[in-house]
């Protein structure tokens, strides 16, 4: 939510599925049932049709990640079928470090042109409802893809010991971080600097009061030192 309100462009709308109905500027809050990711994407697509909402590009986005506030301005005149990151960007909330790693697949968050996003696939679902690492890559093979520059990535994936795919144990979290690349190359991505500063304030309060860390009897300083010793020295 933090990044959506920071977007430096006005001609967009973000549909946020949750438990309330309201409109806050460019943010449209829609009450939606809980379900799988696929079910919620289907709900969102049905909502767009029911409300007769027109658009040029469509993007799916997890609410704990950070959208580049400049990205819509940078690509407002593009006609590409797809805009994607070749260098995926990550921010570890616990160690407060950024990393970019070149990947051979598309991330979860890309911009799909309307005719591509709504293209019906053999299983009856639209392209935007498909798996990003497989079906999207197959669909766009030898097609027009505009890759964002490394300096201005589309979004920042936020990592933390409480991420769904991580484990709270320090050794396991070290391995989790290692899977994203070499953190010795970590450096700040300037487009996200103001938002990262706000994230760090939120993260400080969260970890200070987290019952998980209290139960594990692991101090924050000790946790960071163990990770830092392995990755950043």
Distance from CA of residue 37 to its chain's centroid? Answer: 14
- Give the pLDDT band (50/70/90) at residue 108: very high
Q: Kindly report, residue by residue over 36-91, the tens digit of the pLDDT.
A: 999 999 999 999 999 999 999 999 998 778 999 999 999 999 999 999 999 999 99
Map 157-220 to HEC letters. Answer: EEECCCCCCCCCCHHHHHHHHHCCCCHHHCCCCHHHHHHHHHHHHHHHHHHHHCHHHHHHCCCH
Q: What is the mean pLDDT of residues 183-201?
A: 89
Beta-bridged to residue 184, according to DSSP, are none
For residue 228, the model assigns a pLDDT of: 46
Q: Kindly report, residue by residue over 1-40, the tens digit of the pLDDT.
A: 778 989 999 999 999 999 999 999 999 999 999 999 999 9
For residue 124, the model assigns a pLDDT of: 94
Q: What is the mean pLDDT of residues 177-195?
A: 90
- Give first-to-last CA distance, the chain, whole Å: 34
Average pLDDT taken over every residue of the chain = 85
Q: Which two tokens stand for residue 111?
A: 């911009």
pTM: 0.84
CA dihedral for 74, 107, 18, 3, sign (positive or negative):
negative
For residue 167, the model assigns a pLDDT of: 54
| pLDDT score of 203 more than 60 | yes
Q: What is the mean pLDDT of residues 140-145?
A: 92
* H or E element at residue 108: none
Residues of the chain with pLDDT > 90, as a percent, come to: 63
For residue 51, the model assigns a pLDDT of: 95
């Amino acid at each position: 939510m933090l990044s959506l309100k920071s977007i430096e462009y006005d001609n967009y709308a973000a549909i946020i599925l949750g438990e309330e109905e309201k409109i806050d500027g460019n943010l449209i809050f829609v009450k939606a049932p809980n379900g799988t990711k696929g079910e919620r994407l289907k709900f969102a697509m049905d909502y767009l049709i029911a409300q007769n909402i027109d658009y040029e590009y469509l993007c799916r986005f997890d609410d704990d990640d950070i959208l580049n506030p400049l990205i819509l301005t940078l690509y407002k005149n593009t006609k590409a079928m797809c805009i994607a990151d070749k260098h995926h960007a990550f921010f570890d909330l616990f160690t407060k470090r950024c990393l970019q790693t070149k990947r051979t697949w598309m991330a979860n968050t890309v911009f799909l042109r309307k005719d591509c996003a709504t293209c019906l696939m053999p299983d009856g679902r639209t392209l935007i409802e498909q798996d990003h690492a497989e079906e999207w890559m197959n669909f766009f093979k030898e097609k027009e893809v505009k890759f964002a520059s490394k300096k201005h990535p589309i979004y920042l994936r936020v990592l933390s010991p409480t991420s769904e795919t991580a484990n709270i144990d320090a050794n396991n979290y070290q391995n989790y971080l290692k899977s994203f690349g070499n953190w010795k190359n970590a450096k700040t991505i300037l487009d996200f600097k103001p938002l990262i500063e706000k994230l760090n304030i939120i993260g400080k309060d969260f970890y200070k009061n987290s019952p998980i860390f209290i139960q594990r009897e692991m101090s924050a300083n000790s946790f960071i030192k163990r990770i830092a010793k392995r990755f950043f020295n």
